[in-house]
A = this chain, B = another copy of it.
């Protein structure tokens, strides 16, 4: 079984000229077949090199999305939803040709209900934009995958990031969706009620479906009050195991830590160079606490004690917003800082998530493997969730390096699955991890997913070739 998607070509289903004509007549300039536009919509951070979509539609409303999907259904050609283009697993690639529907112009925050702590947005709203628009109300949306992703795309990949240990992932924070089905019908899943037992959980079915069941055209999210007090701290550890043991103890104590990120010495080194910081180049936890002033102080004291018991040292606080922003910006830039360590390289990034008791073991073996191999790498982890990313830095001119990186990832994923973990904590399956999904969910599990896909998208027009092949 191969870790990456099969290299054989996908069946081609290009848009017929009649459909392009119909789109151009209906949408004018907003339907583009210009090569540059198509190529911009046919590329992402993933390594696959496939032809771009046949056309791109810049949709401005759910009605327009529904019209375009109905047209694609009539011609039985693929539709690929496109948000901010920041996904990592080949979700956007038009492997069978087709129409890319770009929803980035559907970027309005439609309704904020402060009393209910809910907001309804169009799918092209990005998380930075959303938090900008919420700030004056004392509210925020915590899910933070690093990139300034679109909310629609974050739903589609079931994204999470640094705040998930306290606030959950998109799975826990989407209340309702409006979707356009594969027939071009607009449908509402869920309501603004915070809980419901009304039939099958269609919302959770579409969250994480990677555009393969329909196009997300509206999202209702849970919001949170901005904490009265926030503080961040860094602490260095003699080993990754000590940092993970500290995290386990913090969570078992019931400390409601908001962020708990692990950086390996390579990541710390990269961040130091890139952001002119002077952090000790050892395994490091980067933490954040949210609450009342007294609550944050209490959390911090408890954590400091636990860290000391596990050999944590150089505990340093960032209390002012500027210091905090500097630290978290550095964390968020770790990916690019890490890439900059090897000019011209590309990263092959892992995304395993395991039960936290197995995390040190899982990371330990992966680090030993890559050290033995010799490829440059760095590691960052959402350690409170058991999720971590190793970035193997490969020279794109050296195909053998990519193969070595893929082999390392494959060993890591197999190990994670034996530890009752998953091959992807937050990036999704896309094209990359279809073989791993089969190992993780089993042939029967994937068969059941395929039956759902066939029931909801019988013509296989919605982002075909992603998660699994038809």
Contact = CB atoms under 8 A, between A and B. Distances in A.
Interface of A: 113-118, 157-160, 164, 168-169, 171-172, 181, 185, 187-189, 191-202, 204-205, 207-209, 224-225, 227-228, 248, 251-254, 256, 291-292, 294-295, 298, 351, 353-357, 385-387, 417, 420-429, 433, 436-437, 440-442, 444-446, 448-449, 451-452, 454-456, 467-468
Nearest to A114: B252
A193 B224 contact: no
B195 A385 contact: yes
A158 B196 CA distance: 8
B387 A164 contact: no
A189 B385 contact: no
Contacts of A224: 254
Given A448-B187, A454-B455, A198 B440 contact: yes
B192 A421 contact: yes
A88 B396 CA distance: 61
Nearest to A160: B195
Contact of A116 (B164, B357, B422): B357
B251 A198 contact: no
Contact of A201 (B204, B252, B437, B456): B204
Contact of A421 (B191, B207, B225): B191
What are the nearest 9 A-B pairs in CB distance? A204-B204, A455-B455, A115-B357, A196-B422, A193-B353, A116-B355, A225-B254, A192-B420, A451-B455
Contacts of A197: 157-159, 208, 351, 422, 424-429
A192 B355 contact: yes
Given A191-B422, A200-B208, A353-B194, A456 B449 contact: no
A356 B115 contact: yes
A200 B195 contact: no
Nearest to A351: B197
A39 to B, nearest CB: 27
Contacts of A441: 188-189, 198-199, 202
Nearest to A297: B294
Nearest to A453: B200
B188 A356 contact: no
A367 to B, nearest CB: 19
A274 to B, nearest CB: 28
B188 A445 contact: yes
A445 B355 contact: no
A442 B188 contact: yes
A261 B403 CA distance: 58
A3 to B, nearest CB: 14
Contacts of A427: 197
Contacts of A292: 254, 298
A385 B191 CA distance: 13
B356 A426 contact: no
Contacts of A189: 441, 445
A228 B255 CA distance: 11
Nearest to A254: B225
A74 to B, nearest CB: 19
Contacts of A202: 441, 445, 448-449
A204 B171 contact: yes
Contact of A225 (B117, B227, B252, B442): B252
B452 A200 contact: yes
B209 A195 contact: no
Contacts of A172: 168, 172
A429 B181 CA distance: 24
Contacts of A444: 181, 185, 187
B456 A193 contact: no
A249 to B, nearest CB: 9
Contact of A115 (B159, B209, B252): B252
A211 to B, nearest CB: 12
Given A118-B355, A253-B225, A355-B116, A199 B446 contact: yes
Given A198-B423, A294-B294, 18 more contacts: A113-B357, A116-B355, A160-B195, A171-B201, A189-B441, A192-B421, A193-B385, A194-B353, A195-B353, A195-B425, A197-B424, A197-B427, A198-B422, A200-B209, A201-B201, A202-B441, A202-B448, A254-B292
B454 A193 contact: no
B252 A356 contact: no
B199 A467 contact: yes
Given A294-B294, A355-B116, A195 B169 contact: yes
